[in-house]
Amino acid sequence: MKQASNTPDWVLSALDERRQQNLMRKTVTLNSPQTPRTSINGQEYTAFCSNDYLGLANHPSLIKALQEGADQYGVGGGSSHLVCGHLSPHQALEEALAEWLGYERVMLFSTGYMANLGVISALANKSRPVVQDKLNHASLIDGAVLAQATLRRYLHADVASAEKLLSKATNKGLLVTDGVFSMDGDIAPLAELSELASRYQWMFMVDDAHGVGCLGDLGRGSLSLAGLDSQSLPILMGTFGKAFGTSGAFVATSHEYAEYLTQFARPYVYTTSMSPAMAHATLTSLNIICSGEGESRRATLAENIAYLRKRLASLPVELMESTTAIQPIVIGDSAKAMQISESLRSLGILCTAIRPPTVPVGSARLRITLSADHSQADLMLLCDSLEQVLTAK
């Protein structure tokens, strides 16, 4: 006899509604490293949905560094940075990142989500509002909610819309944008937004999770592309789980902001530090990113992006305007996007359909992401498979 469920009706109703709208999310378990060729339940696929943009997640030097770090410093941080969880690898990584990006200080966080929650909830409040791009990452929105700050969102990448909101605000606050937008792949007008923040005397923060390591001089990201520095972009967040191929995040800023965040950023104060072994491996990743190998990987990634866009230009698809590793194809209907994703999977291509509420209603898409580790044969397989699926009667 089936046991009666004690789950509230509203939970069951919410799940049923998601199923009916083709919006249910499910976890897929990989049985292999994070590489373009991956395995799921013994079936091999060529993956185009990972954020491992430079192909470093399974790099032998990082694996070796992780093992060395664990041998010397152990696996767990053991405590928050402010108690006894700040080890030599953490300090070395912070100093190297600060020098690389040209900032006075860098603070490490366990995840990018926590970094954004920590910074925004500490800097904003009921009397210090937050103005954000309409398509900013959920963590940036949640940071403002956690701060109980007045939140206003300007039209995507629209500087005039942002200025309208700043000009109407009673109090000065925090202007926040992604550097590279995670679902569209386009780049924010950072130079113009920086000038706007300076003119209105607002704090300015950029989440460059999808740009740092991949873009700009020595991989310095959107900051470099826009010609900004630590003065014109005082608060920069970046993550290690994408181009760096490891995990964790950082905030680059001034001594004063860093001291303030050390006192008031609760996700920093009350969280165990990232693994010291991972910090050691991330420093190795940074060295690769800054080296000739890093430059070569960025060049290969750029070539892969150009090839994909050229091939897809002849297909009946809405390929979004993006020069980054994120190359979304807008399908529109969620059920159709799921169907196309499944058809590609039957051809050995792993490319996840992204649906609302992650993206706006009516803009479900295939979020194709490219890596420096994708070969010419991988790209040809993807393009041939897309042509077969998208032009099928």
Would you say 324 is a known binding-site residue? no
The two beta strands, 249-253 and 105-109, are antiparallel
Q: Give, as one character, the DSSP assignment of residue 277.
A: H
b (16+ CB within 10 A) / e for 26-60:
eeeeeeeebbbbbeeeeeebbbbbbbbbbbbbebe
Give the angle 286-288-292 at the CA atoms, nearest 5°.
135
Would you say 137 is a known binding-site residue? yes
Per DSSP, the three-state class of 323 is coil
- Catalytic annotation on 126? no
Give the bridge partners for 332, in sequence order.
364
End-to-end Cα spacing for the chain: 47
Would you say 213 is a known binding-site residue? no
Query: What count of residues does the chain have?
Result: 393
* Of 129, 210, 201, nearest in space to 171 by CA: 129
Would you say 198 is a known binding-site residue? no
- Catalytic annotation on 242? yes
Would you say 358 is a known binding-site residue? yes
Give the bridge partners for 175, in sequence order.
131, 204
Would you say 345 is a known binding-site residue? no
Would you say 307 is a known binding-site residue? no
Of the candidates 210, 222, 224, 341, the residue annotated as catalytic is: 210
Per DSSP, the three-state class of 167 is helix
Q: Residue by residue, what is the 3-state secondary structure of 110-148?
A: CCHHHHHHHHHHHHCECCECEEEECCCCHHHHHHHHHCC
DSSP letters, 355-375, are: -TTSS-TT-EEEEEE--TT--
Would you say 45 is a known binding-site residue? no
**CA distances for 184 relative to 15, 321, 331, angstroms:** 27, 8, 13
Of the candidates 81, 242, 280, 374, the residue annotated as catalytic is: 242
Of the candidates 182, 224, 273, 363, the residue annotated as catalytic is: 182
**CA distances for 137 relative to 108, 176, 205, 208, 272, angstroms:** 19, 10, 13, 11, 24
Alpha helix segments (H runs only) across the chain: 9-20, 60-73, 88-101, 112-123, 138-146, 159-168, 190-200, 222-225, 255-264, 266-269, 276-290, 292-312, 334-346, 376-390
- Catalytic annotation on 255? no
Record the tokens describing residue 247, joined without a space. Answer: 């995990």
Record the tokens describing residue 235, joined without a space. Answer: 């608060």
Residues in binding site: 25, 112-113, 137, 182, 210, 239, 358
Residues in binding site for pyridoxal 5'-phosphate: 112-113, 182, 210, 239
Catalytic residues: 182, 210, 242
